[in-house]
């Protein structure tokens, strides 16, 4: 960091973990994380713009490399969805799963960018606080998980009817005896609360932890030449290992989305 | 971990991206993939059918070949038999003709011999007469034959 003498490990880490906040009202809630929003939207527009661009020129004949690559991704997602969701997956569930997978994968992949170089470049254009990994912001993962949660409730009600859904809240999984209603309801409420929490916090925790480790390794560079060398080597090692985590977490997030939506479509 | 308005904006962005994928990305590519799958399946089926047809054609051609072979063998034996018969016929005809020629030659020879005999017979009398004349000219004298001549005279 250019700040030199006043730089301490604590200030280094808090600097890198600080959001570019923009208050839009009074109170803690009315704040926007501009970095998270801008990065995620740029990534989303790039990813889905690319998909759209490829799909617009798609041919049923021999596909070119670009199309084959996109088809590979789509077939991969479609295969996963096919195994879990039994119904008309093409109308919503499979494309939604593709959206989740592609978007989360790209947002996770921002973790590969070297934190300090990005901070330097963005600092040079006046953006001193910028978190590059949108999925290391709990707002993003919660937004995704809650959106899936609402979709889950929407499809539960749509497939089973409002009465059917309420009946299921009270009568499954233990049985429809009125004595069991409180137990059933309690279990269902816990399930409904825990689903978005585990869904979002799993991704958030993995990405946040990954970021922290990169920062700690970066911190090592402050101790001298040996620290810099070892920090670089271990940073490379962690980045390679992180490739697995990035893809795996995106995959898990997609699979859970599909599983939750599939469960909403099935009656107990 | 501070939940704030970012959550709402991210959820809205997520919803828009899902809508975009559902509406514009998934269906066209899905169609393209399914159309290609169908084309490939049709092509494979056609290839299978072609293979089957080829097998049938091969079997048929083998049948035809065998039939033709049988027929040609039969024709060959027939032709051989016919050729033999022609040779036999020609031989028989030649023998008959030869016999005829021989017979006619024999007849001619016989006739010629008969004619020579006839001729000879005619000449034999003449020779006998001439011989007799010569013998007579030398033997006949009056004394030797006076008895006979006198007897002849008596009878007159």
pLDDT at B20 over 90: yes
The per-residue pLDDT for A5 is 46
Quick one: closest CA in A to B15, which residue? A147
Q: Crossing angle, helix A225-265 and helix A181-220, to 10 degrees?
A: 160
The per-residue pLDDT for A6 is 61
Asked if A107 and A135 count as a contact pair (C-beta separation under 8 A), the reply is: yes
Examine the residue annotation and report whether A198 is marked as an active-site residue of this protein. Answer: yes
Asked if A112 and A166 count as a contact pair (C-beta separation under 8 A), the reply is: no
In a domain, B36, yes or no: yes
Q: Which residues pair with A33 in a beta bridge?
A: A21
- How many distinct structural domains can be found in chain B? 1
Confidence class for position B1, pLDDT limits 50, 70, 90:
low
In a domain, B113, yes or no: yes
pLDDT at B144 over 80: no
In a domain, B98, yes or no: yes
Contact B5 A61 (CB under 8 A): no
- Over the stretch B78-111, which tens digit does the pLDDT of each residue have? 999 999 999 999 999 999 999 999 999 999 999 9
The per-residue pLDDT for A268 is 60
The per-residue pLDDT for B42 is 95
- Over the stretch B29-59, which tens digit does the pLDDT of each residue have? 888 888 999 999 999 999 999 999 999 999 9
ipTM: 0.87
Other CB atoms within 10 A of residue A261 CB: 24
Q: Which residues pair with A32 in a beta bridge?
A: A22
**Terminus-to-terminus CA distance in chain A, angstroms?**
57
State the residue range of the domain holding A22: 4-265
Alpha-carbon distances of B101 from B96, B104, B113, B114, rounded to whole Å: 9, 5, 18, 20
What would the two tokens of residue B29 be? 């590519």
In a domain, B83, yes or no: yes
Alpha-carbon distances of A193 from A90, A138, A177, A266, rounded to whole Å: 28, 16, 24, 19
For chain B, what is the mean pLDDT? 90
d(CA B99, CA A78): 105
d(CA A74, CA A97): 10
HEC sequence for chain B: CCCCCHHHHHHHHHHHHHHHHHHHHHHHHHHHHHHHHHHHHHHHHHHHHHHHHHHHHHHHHHHHHHHHHHHHHHHHHHHHHHHHHHHHHHHHHHHHHHHHHHHHHHHHHHHHHHHHHHHHHHHHHHHHHHHHHHHHHHHCCCCCCHHHHHHHHHHC
The per-residue pLDDT for B134 is 86
Residues 11-70 of B with CB under 8 A from A: 11, 13-15, 17-18, 20-22, 24-33, 35-36, 39
- Over the stretch A1-53, which tens digit does the pLDDT of each residue have? 344 446 778 888 888 888 888 888 888 888 888 889 999 999 999 999 999 99
Residues of B with Cβ-Cβ distance to A28 under 8 angstroms? 2, 4
In a domain, B89, yes or no: yes
State the residue range of the domain holding B71: 6-155
- How many distinct structural domains can be found in chain A? 1
d(CA B57, CA B62): 8
Residues of A with Cβ-Cβ distance to B43 under 8 angstroms? none
The per-residue pLDDT for B152 is 80
What would the two tokens of residue B27 be? 């269906």
pLDDT per residue of chain A (268 residues) written in tens, 0 to 9: 344 446 778 888 888 888 888 888 888 888 888 889 999 999 999 999 999 999 988 888 888 899 999 999 999 999 999 999 988 888 899 999 999 999 999 999 998 888 888 888 888 888 878 888 999 999 999 999 999 999 999 999 999 899 989 988 888 888 888 888 889 999 999 999 999 999 999 999 999 999 999 888 888 887 888 888 888 899 899 999 999 999 999 999 999 999 999 999 887 6
Cis peptide before A268 (omega within 30 of 0): no
In a domain, B60, yes or no: yes
More confidently predicted of B132 and B87? B87
In a domain, B1, yes or no: no
* pTM greater than the 0.90 cutoff: no
In a domain, B147, yes or no: yes
Residues of A with Cβ-Cβ distance to B33 under 8 angstroms? 60, 71, 74-75
Contact B36 A61 (CB under 8 A): yes
Examine the residue annotation and report whether A206 is marked as an active-site residue of this protein. Answer: yes
Residues of B with Cβ-Cβ distance to A25 under 8 angstroms? 5
Q: Does A74 touch chain B (CB under 8 A)?
A: yes
The per-residue pLDDT for A1 is 39
């Amino acid at each position: 960091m250019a700040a030199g003498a006043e730089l301490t490990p604590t200030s280094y880490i808090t600097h890198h973990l600080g959001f570019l906040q923009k208050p839009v009202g009074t109170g803690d809630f009315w704040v926007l994380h501009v970095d998270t929003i801008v990065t995620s939207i740029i990534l989303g527009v790039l990813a889905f713009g690319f998909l759209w661009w490829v799909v617009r020129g798609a041919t049923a004949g021999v596909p070119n490399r670009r199309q084959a690559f996109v088809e590979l991704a789509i077939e991969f997602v479609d295969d996963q969805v096919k195994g879990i969701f039994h119904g008309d997956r093409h109308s919503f569930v499979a494309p939604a799963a593709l959206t989740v997978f592609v978007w989360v994968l790209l947002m996770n992949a921002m973790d590969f960018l070297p934190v300090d170089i990005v901070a330097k470049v963005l600092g040079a254009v006046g953006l001193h606080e910028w978190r590059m990994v949108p999925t290391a912001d709990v707002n993003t993962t919660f937004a995704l998980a809650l959106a899936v949660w609402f979709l889950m409730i929407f499809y539960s009600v749509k497939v089973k009817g409002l009465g059917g859904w309420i009946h299921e809240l009270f009568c499954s999984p233990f049985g429809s005896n009125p004595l069991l209603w409180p137990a059933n309801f309690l279990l269902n409420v816990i399930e409904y609360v825990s689903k978005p929490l585990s869904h979002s916090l799993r991704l958030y925790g993995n990405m946040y932890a990954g970021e922290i480790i990169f920062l700690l390794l970066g911190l090592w560079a402050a101790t001298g030449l040996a620290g810099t060398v070892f920090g670089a080597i271990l940073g490379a090692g962690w980045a390679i290992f992180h490739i697995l985590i990035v893809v795996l977490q995106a995959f898990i997030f997609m699979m859970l989305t599909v599983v939750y939506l599939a469960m909403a479509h099935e009656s107990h | 971990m501070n939940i704030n308005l970012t959550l709402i904006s991210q959820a809205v962005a997520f919803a828009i991206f899902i809508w975009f994928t559902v509406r514009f990305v998934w269906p066209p590519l899905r169609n393209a993939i399914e159309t290609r799958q169908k084309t490939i399946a049709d092509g494979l089926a056609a290839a299978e059918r072609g293979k089957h047809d080829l097998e049938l054609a091969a079997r048929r051609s083998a049948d035809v070949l065998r039939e033709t072979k049988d027929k040609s063998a039969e024709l060959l034996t027939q032709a051989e038999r016919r050729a033999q018969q022609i040779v036999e016929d020609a031989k028989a005809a030649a023998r008959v003709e030869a016999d005829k020629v021989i017979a006619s030659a024999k007849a001619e020879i016989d006739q010629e011999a008969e004619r020579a005999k006839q001729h000879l017979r005619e000449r034999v009398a003449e020779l006998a007469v001439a011989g007799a004349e010569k013998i007579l000219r030398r033997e006949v004298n009056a004394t030797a034959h006076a008895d006979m001549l006198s007897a002849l005279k008596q009878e007159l």
